Protein backbone atom coordinates (compact mmCIF):
# COMPACT_ATOMS: atom_id res chain seq x y z
CA UNK A 1 0.00 0.00 0.00
CA UNK A 2 1.56 3.28 -1.12
CA UNK A 3 1.66 5.91 1.61
CA UNK A 4 1.15 9.64 1.44
CA UNK A 5 4.80 10.11 2.40
CA UNK A 6 5.83 8.32 -0.79
CA UNK A 7 3.34 10.38 -2.77
CA UNK A 8 4.68 13.64 -1.33
CA UNK A 9 8.24 12.56 -2.11
CA UNK A 10 7.26 12.15 -5.76
CA UNK A 11 5.77 15.66 -5.77
CA UNK A 12 2.16 16.80 -5.86
CA UNK A 13 2.66 20.49 -6.69
CA UNK A 14 -0.03 21.71 -9.07
CA UNK A 15 -1.83 18.34 -9.05
CA UNK A 16 -5.49 17.95 -8.16
CA UNK A 17 -5.54 15.50 -5.26
CA UNK A 18 -8.87 13.91 -4.34
CA UNK A 19 -8.96 13.11 -0.61
CA UNK A 20 -11.70 10.70 0.38
CA UNK A 21 -12.17 11.75 4.00
CA UNK A 22 -14.71 10.83 6.65
CA UNK A 23 -16.46 14.03 7.66
CA UNK A 24 -19.52 12.15 8.88
CA UNK A 25 -19.87 14.20 12.06
CA UNK A 26 -22.92 14.43 14.33
CA UNK A 27 -24.97 17.59 13.81
CA UNK A 28 -27.53 19.43 15.90
CA UNK A 29 -29.10 21.39 13.08
CA UNK A 30 -26.03 23.01 11.55
CA UNK A 31 -23.99 22.79 14.76
CA UNK A 32 -21.27 20.13 14.88
CA UNK A 33 -21.41 18.35 18.24
CA UNK A 34 -18.20 16.32 17.81
CA UNK A 35 -15.53 17.35 15.29
CA UNK A 36 -13.18 14.43 15.96
CA UNK A 37 -13.40 13.00 12.46
CA UNK A 38 -12.66 16.37 10.88
CA UNK A 39 -9.62 16.89 13.07
CA UNK A 40 -8.42 13.40 12.14
CA UNK A 41 -8.04 14.24 8.44
CA UNK A 42 -6.33 17.61 8.97
CA UNK A 43 -2.74 16.21 8.91
CA UNK A 44 -3.26 14.70 5.45
CA UNK A 45 -5.00 17.73 3.98
CA UNK A 46 -2.47 20.12 5.48
CA UNK A 47 0.51 18.11 4.20
CA UNK A 48 -0.89 18.03 0.67
CA UNK A 49 -1.77 21.73 0.65
CA UNK A 50 1.64 22.72 1.99
CA UNK A 51 3.21 20.63 -0.79
CA UNK A 52 1.33 22.70 -3.37
CA UNK A 53 -1.46 20.28 -4.23
CA UNK A 54 -4.92 21.47 -5.19
CA UNK A 55 -6.87 19.49 -2.64
CA UNK A 56 -10.42 18.25 -3.27
CA UNK A 57 -11.95 16.80 -0.10
CA UNK A 58 -14.99 14.54 -0.36
CA UNK A 59 -17.09 12.62 2.15
CA UNK A 60 -20.51 11.31 3.01
CA UNK A 61 -22.63 12.51 5.93
CA UNK A 62 -25.60 10.61 7.30
CA UNK A 63 -27.93 8.57 5.14
CA UNK A 64 -29.63 10.79 2.56
CA UNK A 65 -31.71 8.93 -0.01
CA UNK A 66 -29.42 9.49 -3.01
CA UNK A 67 -30.65 13.04 -3.52
CA UNK A 68 -29.76 16.47 -2.09
CA UNK A 69 -31.07 17.07 1.42
CA UNK A 70 -30.09 20.26 3.28
CA UNK A 71 -30.17 18.40 6.60
CA UNK A 72 -27.13 16.38 5.46
CA UNK A 73 -25.09 19.13 3.83
CA UNK A 74 -21.33 19.09 4.33
CA UNK A 75 -21.25 22.90 4.51
CA UNK A 76 -20.77 22.97 8.32
CA UNK A 77 -17.98 20.39 8.06
CA UNK A 78 -16.27 22.40 5.31
CA UNK A 79 -16.39 25.53 7.46
CA UNK A 80 -14.94 23.65 10.44
CA UNK A 81 -12.17 22.18 8.29
CA UNK A 82 -11.23 25.70 7.24
CA UNK A 83 -11.07 26.80 10.88
CA UNK A 84 -8.81 23.88 11.77
CA UNK A 85 -6.55 24.49 8.78
CA UNK A 86 -6.48 28.22 9.42
CA UNK A 87 -7.38 29.01 5.82
CA UNK A 88 -10.41 29.53 3.61
CA UNK A 89 -11.89 26.31 2.24
CA UNK A 90 -14.01 26.55 -0.88
CA UNK A 91 -17.31 24.66 -0.95
CA UNK A 92 -19.02 23.15 -3.98
CA UNK A 93 -22.78 22.81 -3.66
CA UNK A 94 -22.92 19.58 -5.68
CA UNK A 95 -20.78 16.46 -6.14
CA UNK A 96 -19.92 16.29 -9.85
CA UNK A 97 -22.05 19.08 -11.34
CA UNK A 98 -21.27 22.60 -12.45
CA UNK A 99 -20.45 23.87 -8.96
CA UNK A 100 -17.94 21.05 -8.32
CA UNK A 101 -16.32 21.43 -11.73
CA UNK A 102 -15.94 25.22 -11.52
CA UNK A 103 -14.82 25.17 -7.87
CA UNK A 104 -12.10 22.60 -8.57
CA UNK A 105 -11.03 24.34 -11.79
CA UNK A 106 -10.57 27.61 -9.86
CA UNK A 107 -8.26 26.10 -7.24
CA UNK A 108 -4.68 27.32 -7.17
CA UNK A 109 -1.68 25.50 -5.69
CA UNK A 110 -2.15 24.92 -1.97
CA UNK A 111 -5.89 25.66 -1.95
CA UNK A 112 -8.52 23.31 -0.52
CA UNK A 113 -12.12 22.67 -1.55
CA UNK A 114 -14.85 20.42 -0.18
CA UNK A 115 -17.51 19.04 -2.50
CA UNK A 116 -21.04 18.32 -1.31
CA UNK A 117 -22.17 15.07 0.33
CA UNK A 118 -21.29 12.16 -1.95
CA UNK A 119 -24.45 10.31 -0.97
CA UNK A 120 -26.52 13.03 -2.63
CA UNK A 121 -25.70 11.05 -5.78
CA UNK A 122 -27.31 7.56 -6.00
CA UNK A 123 -24.20 6.22 -7.74
CA UNK A 124 -22.16 6.50 -4.55
CA UNK A 125 -23.90 3.66 -2.70
CA UNK A 126 -25.43 1.77 -5.64
CA UNK A 127 -25.10 -2.01 -5.64
CA UNK A 128 -25.00 -1.88 -9.43
CA UNK A 129 -21.37 -1.93 -10.58
CA UNK A 130 -22.12 0.08 -13.72
CA UNK A 131 -23.96 2.86 -11.89
CA UNK A 132 -21.25 3.06 -9.25
CA UNK A 133 -18.58 3.04 -11.94
CA UNK A 134 -20.24 5.84 -13.86
CA UNK A 135 -20.22 8.04 -10.76
CA UNK A 136 -16.59 7.11 -10.09
CA UNK A 137 -15.75 8.20 -13.64
CA UNK A 138 -17.28 11.61 -12.98
CA UNK A 139 -15.38 11.95 -9.70
CA UNK A 140 -12.13 10.90 -11.41
CA UNK A 141 -12.53 13.79 -13.85
CA UNK A 142 -12.06 16.17 -10.89
CA UNK A 143 -8.62 14.87 -9.94
CA UNK A 144 -5.20 13.60 -10.95
CA UNK A 145 -4.43 11.59 -7.81
CA UNK A 146 -6.50 9.79 -5.16
CA UNK A 147 -5.72 9.68 -1.43
CA UNK A 148 -7.84 7.42 0.76
CA UNK A 149 -8.14 8.78 4.28
CA UNK A 150 -11.72 8.01 5.32
CA UNK A 151 -11.16 4.99 7.53
CA UNK A 152 -14.73 5.09 8.80
CA UNK A 153 -15.93 4.19 5.30
CA UNK A 154 -13.35 1.62 4.13
CA UNK A 155 -15.68 -1.29 4.93
CA UNK A 156 -18.16 0.05 2.33
CA UNK A 157 -18.06 -0.96 -1.33
CA UNK A 158 -18.96 2.56 -2.44
CA UNK A 159 -17.91 4.47 -5.55
CA UNK A 160 -15.60 6.96 -3.85
CA UNK A 161 -14.08 4.27 -1.61
CA UNK A 162 -13.74 1.25 -3.88
CA UNK A 163 -14.20 2.20 -7.55
CA UNK A 164 -12.45 5.57 -7.71
CA UNK A 165 -8.98 4.41 -6.60
CA UNK A 166 -8.89 2.02 -9.57
CA UNK A 167 -9.22 5.02 -11.90
CA UNK A 168 -6.42 7.18 -10.48
CA UNK A 169 -2.91 6.83 -9.03
CA UNK A 170 -3.60 6.25 -5.34
CA UNK A 171 -2.12 6.27 -1.86
CA UNK A 172 -3.19 5.92 1.76
CA UNK A 173 -3.40 9.09 3.84
CA UNK A 174 -1.85 9.51 7.27
CA UNK A 175 -5.06 8.50 9.06
CA UNK A 176 -5.60 5.22 7.23
CA UNK A 177 -1.92 4.29 7.42
CA UNK A 178 -2.00 4.87 11.18
CA UNK A 179 -5.26 2.95 11.66
CA UNK A 180 -3.89 -0.08 9.81
CA UNK A 181 -0.67 -0.02 11.82
CA UNK A 182 -2.65 0.02 15.08
CA UNK A 183 -5.06 -2.73 14.04
CA UNK A 184 -2.17 -4.98 13.09
CA UNK A 185 -1.03 -4.67 16.70
CA UNK A 186 -4.40 -6.15 17.69
CA UNK A 187 -4.27 -9.03 15.23
CA UNK A 188 -0.72 -10.01 14.26
CA UNK A 189 1.65 -9.43 17.18
CA UNK A 190 -0.51 -8.93 20.25
CA UNK A 191 1.12 -8.15 23.58
CA UNK A 192 -0.58 -10.11 26.38
CA UNK A 193 -2.68 -10.15 28.47
CA UNK A 194 -5.07 -8.96 25.72
CA UNK A 195 -8.32 -7.57 27.14
CA UNK A 196 -11.33 -6.60 25.04
CA UNK A 197 -14.26 -4.56 26.38
CA UNK A 198 -17.37 -4.71 24.22
CA UNK A 199 -20.57 -2.71 24.70
CA UNK A 200 -23.25 -1.07 22.62
CA UNK A 201 -26.90 -1.84 22.12
CA UNK A 202 -27.08 -4.92 19.89
CA UNK A 203 -25.28 -8.18 20.46
CA UNK A 204 -25.90 -9.03 16.79
CA UNK A 205 -23.49 -6.25 15.82
CA UNK A 206 -20.70 -7.90 17.81
CA UNK A 207 -21.25 -11.64 17.23
CA UNK A 208 -18.72 -11.97 14.41
CA UNK A 209 -15.99 -10.13 16.30
CA UNK A 210 -16.68 -12.14 19.48
CA UNK A 211 -16.35 -15.30 17.38
CA UNK A 212 -12.88 -14.18 16.26
CA UNK A 213 -11.79 -12.85 19.64
CA UNK A 214 -12.62 -16.09 21.42
CA UNK A 215 -9.53 -17.43 19.70
CA UNK A 216 -7.34 -14.37 20.29
CA UNK A 217 -8.27 -12.44 23.45
CA UNK A 218 -7.42 -13.52 26.97
CA UNK A 219 -10.36 -11.70 28.55
CA UNK A 220 -13.61 -10.27 27.13
CA UNK A 221 -15.73 -7.85 29.16
CA UNK A 222 -19.36 -7.48 28.11
CA UNK A 223 -21.45 -4.37 28.79
CA UNK A 224 -24.06 -2.12 27.23
CA UNK A 225 -27.47 -3.22 25.99
CA UNK A 226 -25.94 -6.36 24.51
CA UNK A 227 -25.08 -7.62 27.99
CA UNK A 228 -28.71 -8.42 28.79
CA UNK A 229 -28.91 -11.06 26.07
CA UNK A 230 -25.89 -12.71 27.72
CA UNK A 231 -27.53 -12.47 31.15
CA UNK A 232 -30.74 -13.95 29.74
CA UNK A 233 -28.71 -16.80 28.28
CA UNK A 234 -27.45 -17.47 31.82
CA UNK A 235 -31.06 -17.83 32.94
CA UNK A 236 -31.35 -14.46 34.68
CA UNK A 237 -34.46 -12.27 34.86
CA UNK A 238 -33.68 -9.11 32.84
CA UNK A 239 -37.01 -7.28 33.18
CA UNK A 240 -37.73 -5.02 30.22
CA UNK A 241 -34.05 -4.67 29.30
CA UNK A 242 -32.96 -4.86 25.68
CA UNK A 243 -33.08 -8.48 24.49
CA UNK A 244 -32.28 -10.02 21.13
CA UNK A 245 -34.04 -13.32 21.66
CA UNK A 246 -33.01 -14.70 18.27
CA UNK A 247 -29.35 -14.38 19.32
CA UNK A 248 -29.69 -16.47 22.48
CA UNK A 249 -28.48 -19.73 20.85
CA UNK A 250 -25.33 -18.03 19.52
CA UNK A 251 -24.64 -16.28 22.82
CA UNK A 252 -25.10 -19.53 24.74
CA UNK A 253 -22.64 -21.25 22.40
CA UNK A 254 -20.08 -18.47 22.92
CA UNK A 255 -20.39 -18.71 26.70
CA UNK A 256 -19.73 -22.46 26.47
CA UNK A 257 -16.81 -21.96 24.06
CA UNK A 258 -15.19 -19.42 26.35
CA UNK A 259 -15.32 -21.90 29.23
CA UNK A 260 -13.80 -24.68 27.12
CA UNK A 261 -11.02 -22.55 25.60
CA UNK A 262 -10.04 -20.75 28.79
CA UNK A 263 -11.05 -17.27 27.61
CA UNK A 264 -12.33 -15.26 30.55
CA UNK A 265 -15.75 -13.97 29.49
CA UNK A 266 -16.79 -11.44 32.13
CA UNK A 267 -20.44 -10.39 32.50
CA UNK A 268 -21.97 -7.64 34.69
CA UNK A 269 -22.50 -8.51 38.34
CA UNK A 270 -24.88 -5.59 38.87
CA UNK A 271 -26.81 -3.06 36.80
CA UNK A 272 -28.38 0.38 37.04
CA UNK A 273 -32.08 0.06 36.29
CA UNK A 274 -35.02 2.41 35.81
CA UNK A 275 -38.68 2.02 34.84
CA UNK A 276 -38.24 3.74 31.46
CA UNK A 277 -35.60 4.87 29.00
CA UNK A 278 -34.29 8.32 30.05
CA UNK A 279 -35.07 11.57 28.24
CA UNK A 280 -31.82 12.42 26.44
CA UNK A 281 -32.96 15.92 25.48
CA UNK A 282 -34.00 17.31 28.86
CA UNK A 283 -31.64 15.04 30.85
CA UNK A 284 -34.37 14.89 33.49
CA UNK A 285 -33.33 12.74 36.49
CA UNK A 286 -34.16 9.08 35.91
CA UNK A 287 -33.67 7.99 39.56
CA UNK A 288 -31.82 4.74 38.79
CA UNK A 289 -31.43 1.87 41.22
CA UNK A 290 -28.44 -0.46 41.44
CA UNK A 291 -29.45 -4.13 41.60
CA UNK A 292 -27.64 -7.44 41.28
CA UNK A 293 -27.42 -8.71 37.71
CA UNK A 294 -29.55 -11.73 38.60
CA UNK A 295 -32.18 -9.65 40.38
CA UNK A 296 -33.46 -7.11 37.84
CA UNK A 297 -37.14 -6.42 38.64
CA UNK A 298 -39.61 -7.52 35.98
CA UNK A 299 -40.84 -3.95 35.44
CA UNK A 300 -37.38 -2.34 35.21
CA UNK A 301 -34.77 -2.11 32.44
CA UNK A 302 -31.01 -2.13 32.71
CA UNK A 303 -29.45 1.05 31.34
CA UNK A 304 -25.85 0.86 32.58
CA UNK A 305 -23.49 -1.53 34.29
CA UNK A 306 -23.61 -1.05 38.03
CA UNK A 307 -20.88 0.34 40.31
CA UNK A 308 -19.61 -3.11 41.34
CA UNK A 309 -19.25 -4.08 37.68
CA UNK A 310 -17.41 -0.85 36.94
CA UNK A 311 -14.91 -1.67 39.68
CA UNK A 312 -14.66 -5.28 38.48
CA UNK A 313 -14.03 -4.31 34.86
CA UNK A 314 -11.39 -1.77 35.89
CA UNK A 315 -9.60 -4.52 37.83
CA UNK A 316 -9.71 -6.79 34.77
CA UNK A 317 -7.96 -4.08 32.72
CA UNK A 318 -5.26 -3.24 35.30
CA UNK A 319 -2.78 -5.99 34.33
CA UNK A 320 -3.42 -5.86 30.57
CA UNK A 321 -0.70 -5.24 28.00
CA UNK A 322 -3.20 -4.59 25.20
CA UNK A 323 -6.79 -3.29 25.51
CA UNK A 324 -9.38 -2.82 22.77
CA UNK A 325 -12.66 -1.12 23.70
CA UNK A 326 -15.66 -0.81 21.42
CA UNK A 327 -19.11 0.25 22.62
CA UNK A 328 -20.34 2.18 25.68
CA UNK A 329 -21.33 0.36 28.85
CA UNK A 330 -24.67 2.15 29.12
CA UNK A 331 -26.71 5.13 27.97
CA UNK A 332 -23.77 7.46 28.55
CA UNK A 333 -25.54 10.41 26.93
CA UNK A 334 -27.57 10.74 30.15
CA UNK A 335 -25.63 11.64 33.32
CA UNK A 336 -27.48 9.05 35.41
CA UNK A 337 -26.14 6.25 33.18
CA UNK A 338 -22.67 7.48 32.25
CA UNK A 339 -20.66 6.09 35.18
CA UNK A 340 -20.12 2.62 33.71
CA UNK A 341 -18.65 4.02 30.51
CA UNK A 342 -16.57 6.48 32.55
CA UNK A 343 -15.22 3.61 34.66
CA UNK A 344 -14.00 1.69 31.62
CA UNK A 345 -12.56 4.79 29.97
CA UNK A 346 -10.75 5.75 33.19
CA UNK A 347 -9.37 2.22 33.49
CA UNK A 348 -7.87 2.55 30.00
CA UNK A 349 -6.35 5.92 30.95
CA UNK A 350 -4.86 4.47 34.15
CA UNK A 351 -3.57 1.34 32.42
CA UNK A 352 0.03 0.97 31.25
CA UNK A 353 -1.29 -1.10 28.32
CA UNK A 354 -1.44 -0.16 24.66
CA UNK A 355 -5.06 1.05 24.57
CA UNK A 356 -7.29 1.34 21.52
CA UNK A 357 -10.74 2.97 21.51
CA UNK A 358 -12.62 1.44 18.61
CA UNK A 359 -14.38 4.45 17.14
CA UNK A 360 -18.10 5.12 16.93
CA UNK A 361 -19.93 5.78 20.20
CA UNK A 362 -16.87 4.86 22.25
CA UNK A 363 -14.82 7.64 20.67
CA UNK A 364 -17.72 10.05 21.07
CA UNK A 365 -18.05 9.06 24.73
CA UNK A 366 -14.37 9.78 25.38
CA UNK A 367 -14.83 13.33 24.14
CA UNK A 368 -18.31 13.97 25.56
CA UNK A 369 -17.29 12.73 29.01
CA UNK A 370 -14.30 15.05 29.02
CA UNK A 371 -11.35 12.66 28.76
CA UNK A 372 -8.03 13.79 27.33
CA UNK A 373 -7.74 12.00 23.99
CA UNK A 374 -3.96 11.88 24.26
CA UNK A 375 -4.30 9.64 27.34
CA UNK A 376 -5.31 6.75 25.07
CA UNK A 377 -2.94 4.87 22.81
CA UNK A 378 -5.21 5.29 19.79
CA UNK A 379 -8.76 6.46 19.14
CA UNK A 380 -10.09 5.00 15.91
CA UNK A 381 -12.33 7.01 13.60
CA UNK A 382 -14.18 3.92 12.36
CA UNK A 383 -16.15 1.71 14.73
CA UNK A 384 -17.66 -0.54 12.05
CA UNK A 385 -14.45 -0.66 10.04
CA UNK A 386 -12.40 -1.54 13.14
CA UNK A 387 -14.73 -4.40 14.03
CA UNK A 388 -14.75 -5.81 10.51
CA UNK A 389 -10.94 -5.67 10.39
CA UNK A 390 -10.79 -7.61 13.68
CA UNK A 391 -13.31 -10.07 12.27
CA UNK A 392 -10.76 -10.84 9.55
CA UNK A 393 -12.86 -9.46 6.71
CA UNK A 394 -11.38 -7.89 3.58
CA UNK A 395 -12.26 -4.19 3.67
CA UNK A 396 -13.02 -2.90 0.14
CA UNK A 397 -11.50 0.52 0.74
CA UNK A 398 -8.21 -0.95 1.95
CA UNK A 399 -8.08 -3.55 -0.81
CA UNK A 400 -8.55 -0.76 -3.37
CA UNK A 401 -5.45 1.03 -2.06
CA UNK A 402 -3.23 -2.02 -2.44
CA UNK A 403 -0.90 -1.89 -5.43
Give the Cβ contact number of residue 402 at 10 Å. Answer: 10
Neighbours of 1 (CB within 10 A): 16
Q: What is the dihedral of CA 66, 69, 75, 77, to 10 degrees?
A: -60
Q: Catalogue the active-site residues.
A: 37, 202, 360, 384
Distance in angstroms between the alpha carbons of the first and the last residue of the chain? 6
Closest CA to 338 of 355, 362, 316, 314: 362
Q: What's the rounded Cα separation, in Å, for the pair 396 and 1?
A: 13
Identify the CA nearest to 138 among candidates 111, 108, 173, 168. Answer: 168
Separation of alpha carbons 295 and 267, rounded Å: 14
Residue 3 phi, psi (nearest 5): -100, 165
Long-range CB contacts for residues 34-38, cutoff 8 Å, separation at least 24: 34/364, 34/367, 34/368, 35/80, 35/84, 36/363, 36/364, 36/367, 36/373, 36/379, 36/381, 37/152, 37/381, 38/77, 38/80, 38/81, 38/84
Amino acid sequence: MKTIDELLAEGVGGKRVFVRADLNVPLDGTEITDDGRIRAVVPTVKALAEAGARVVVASHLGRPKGAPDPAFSLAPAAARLGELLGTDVEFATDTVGESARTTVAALTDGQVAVIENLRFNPGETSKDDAERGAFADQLAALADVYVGDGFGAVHRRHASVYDLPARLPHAAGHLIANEVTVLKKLTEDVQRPYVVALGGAKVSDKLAVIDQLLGKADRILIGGGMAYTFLKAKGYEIGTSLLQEDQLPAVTEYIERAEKTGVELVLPVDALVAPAFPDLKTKAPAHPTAVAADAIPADQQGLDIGPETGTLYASKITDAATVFWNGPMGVFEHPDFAEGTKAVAQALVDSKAFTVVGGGDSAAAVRILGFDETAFGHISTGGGASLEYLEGKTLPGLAALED
